[in-house]
Amino acid sequence: MQSFLEQFHFDPSLRRYIGVEREFFLYDPTTAMPVPRSPAFLREVDDPAWTYELSACQVEHRTTPATTAESILEHLRTGTDAGMRHARTISCTLRALEVAPVAMPLDVYPDARYLALRQHLPTDVLVAACRVAGTHIHIGMGSIEEAIAVSNVLRPHIDTLAALGDHSGGERLRLYRTMSKTWEPPQYETPEHFFTVAIMRGFADNPRNCYDAIRISTHGTVEVRVFGMTDDAEETLSWIEAIRALIRGT
């Protein structure tokens, strides 16, 4: 169990800081379809705040951890503006879309892990994984015990939070459930129970293989994964404030 827990890097100095991950689609403006150009985009942007996803039609932007509304909004807006600008240099647009068209390309990013994964994914799961994008909100935790407590507080509110961030009539979440065997995390009792669940669900060796709607992340955060996509920074901030209201006092 100790080696499992050591994969989670809690930093008390970042307790309750907020980080946001947003998954954008790259679109060809002439065809109005996603295009698998993430390698070209990432070469152009050359910034560790941007990274790749399974679909080569997607890129992810990660904000610097922050606590104030002003800082969070600044990071979101600056990131969006930079992404839009760099996308134009490769003749693309960056779209905050949470469900892409069925006929989109299914190219995966040329990463060894993703290339191997593609060989084993059923077609319906691959299609679902490529078509969905979302916003993941991280809340910094000081310890595994605190992470468990916060996860447990948020767990009963998954549907409410998901409804706040839904722009696709529930389609994104239906697709997400196609690619993820689990959705709702259990009520964790102790770190030992968390480890037991990780063994049962197959993510003890690699916690990234946990795809629950709310998960304890190796970044030392509780990660809320229920929200769709928006390029409206104020809307994203409203989701963050909803989470903060639920966990206040935890």
In order, the DSSP letters of 3-30 are HHHTT----GGGTT-EEEEEEEEEEETT
What is the model's pLDDT at position 190?
Answer: 97
Mean pLDDT for the stretch of residues 194-213? 95
CB 227 within 8 A of CB 135: yes
What whole-number distance in Å separates Cα of residue 209 and Cα of residue 102? 25
What is the model's pLDDT at position 47?
Answer: 97
What is the model's pLDDT at position 243?
Answer: 98
- 209 vs 73: which has the higher pLDDT: 73
What whole-number distance in Å separates Cα of residue 228 and Cα of residue 12? 29
What is the model's pLDDT at position 183?
Answer: 84
For 3, residues 6+ apart whose C-beta sits below 8 A from its C-beta are none
CB 138 within 8 A of CB 219: yes
What's the pLDDT tens digit per position in 237-249? 999 999 999 999 8
Q: Where are the beta strands (DSSP E) in 121-186?
A: 135-140
What whole-number distance in Å separates Cα of residue 214 and Cα of residue 158? 8
What is the model's pLDDT at position 59?
Answer: 98
pLDDT reading at 181 higher than 80: no
What is the model's pLDDT at position 179?
Answer: 81
Place of tokens 């529930």: 170
What is the model's pLDDT at position 97?
Answer: 96
Task: Return the CATH fold of 2-247.
Answer: Creatine Kinase; Chain A, domain 2 (3.30.590)
What percentage of residues in the chain have a pLDDT greater than 90? 91
What whole-number distance in Å separates Cα of residue 144 and Cα of residue 215? 12
Q: Which of 17, 24, 208 is nearest to 134 (CA)?
A: 24
pLDDT reading at 103 higher than 90: yes
Q: What pLDDT band is residue 67 in, cutting at 50, 70 and 90?
A: very high
Q: What pLDDT band is residue 182 in, cutting at 50, 70 and 90?
A: confident
What whole-number distance in Å separates Cα of residue 40 and Cα of residue 56? 10
Residues counted in the chain = 250
Mean pLDDT of the chain: 96
